Amino acid sequence: MEGKVIVITSGKGGVGKTTATSSIGAALALEGKRVAIVDMDIGLRNLDVVMGLENRIVFNIVDVVQGKCKISQAAIRDRRIPNLFLIPASQSDNKDVLTTSSVERVANQLRKEFDYVIMDSPAGIEKGFENSIVGANEALVICTPDVSAVRDADRVIGILYSRSLTPKLIVNRIEPARVERGEMLSHEDVLEVLSIELAGLVPLDERVLISSNTGTPLVLQNDSKAGQAFKRIARRLNGEADLPIEVPNHRSSMWRKISKTFGFKK
């Protein structure tokens, strides 16, 4: 059976595409699937840094697309998580070196070799974005709860629809305490504007920065809220569509249980 190519995109930069790509990829691999994560941000690669695999790069996606090497030569195996592979971007080229037809060809090859191919799209809606969505079967749109990210996500969703892709939404960096105080858009506000299917909600987690800087997968840290949220998203993508979506809450679940028992509100 052929695998799926899932593109992770957002329009706006810095909303957590790369973190989401590496976390969801790693979580799917932990579920026992054979996963390739592909950095499509040609010229500004950083998925390799986030995954801690920078020093092992020999070939990259541009080499694969241009036929200079095989997929198996460019795919770097992650030593911590079996079945997880990274195909890095090129740092020296720019986004115009790839053509949509050649990327589509490689996407079809990848689909044959892996269960899941997660593509990390660059910010923006130009050539690099076009290249990353051309071979995709599914799309995930990442959005943070702020007005500009929602605006850009809305634009991207429109483009994805026009390419017959029905995207799902991940709302990232939710700060439940600030949502409760009314300082931040809630995920409901975001959904009201974007109105697409929700894939998951990810709370703000300071561990994300630490794990990106040290190159350790977020999903391997059991006490990381964001890591756990990405794990649930991966399970949902991997067939458990009914897995309920957990809304981040700033009180601990123990306190909630006690409150419920004594009949306190909230």
Partner 1 sequence: MINFDSSAPVRLKGVGDGFWITLDPSHPENVIKSEIDKLFKNLKHLTINASVVIDVKDAKGHDDLIENIRSYLINTFDVAKVSKPTEKRSIPTERIRQRDLSKGWNHHRSEVLMLRGRVRSGQKIEARKHVVIAGDVNPGSEIRAGGDVIVLGRLAGKVHAGYPKDETAMIFALEFKPTQVKIGEIAAAGINEDFCAKPEYACVEDDGIVVKDYMKANPFRKLPWPEAV
Selected range binding partner 1 among 149-157, 221-229, 233-241, 250-258, rule: CB under 8 A: 149-157
CB 226 within 8 Å of CB 246: no
Residue 36 binds partner 1, judged by CB under 8 A: no
Per CB under 8 A, 152 contacts partner 1: yes
Burial class of 249 by CB neighbour count within 10 A (0 to 12, 13 to 18, 19+): middle
* Phi, psi for 137 (deg, rounded to 5): -95, -35
Count of residues interacting with partner 1 (CB under 8 A): 11
Choose which of 44, 57, 159, 247 interacts with partner 1 (CB under 8 A).
159
159 or 165: whose CB is closer to partner 1? 159
The set of residues, in sequence order, having a beta carbon less than 8 Å from that of 41 and lying 6+ positions away, is: 18, 47, 89, 120, 121, 122, 128
Q: Which stretch binds partner 1 (CB under 8 A): 25-33, 127-135, 147-155, 165-173?
A: 147-155
Scan residues 171-230 and list those touching partner 1 (CB under 8 A): 193, 195
Q: Per rule CB under 8 A, is residue 166 in the interface with partner 1?
A: no
Q: Smaller CB distance to partner 1: residue 119 or 157?
A: 157
What string of DSSP letters covers 143-186? E-SSHHHHHHHHHHHHHHHHTT---EEEEEEE-HHHHHHTSS--
Q: Using the rule CB under 8 A, which residue among 154, 175, 189, 246 binds partner 1?
A: 154
The distance of closest approach from Cβ of residue 182 to partner 1 in the complex, given in angstroms and rounded to an integer, is 15
User: How are strands ordered across the β-sheet holding 138-143?
Assistant: 76-77, 84-87, 35-39, 116-120, 4-9, 138-143, 168-174, 197-203
Asked if residue 151 binds partner 1 (CB under 8 A), the reply is: yes
- The stretch among 26-34, 68-76, 131-139, 146-154 that binds partner 1 (CB under 8 A) is 146-154
Asked whether position 115 contacts partner 1 by CB under 8 A, the answer is no
d(CA 245, CA 260): 20
Nearest by Cα to 84 from 124, 12, 32, 152: 32
Could you give the angle at which helices 147-162 and 187-194 cross, rounded to 10 degrees? 40
CB of 35 or CB of 190, closer to partner 1:
190
State yes or no: residue 133 binds partner 1 (CB under 8 A): no
Binding site for partner 1 (CB under 8 A): 147, 151-152, 154-155, 157-159, 161, 193, 195
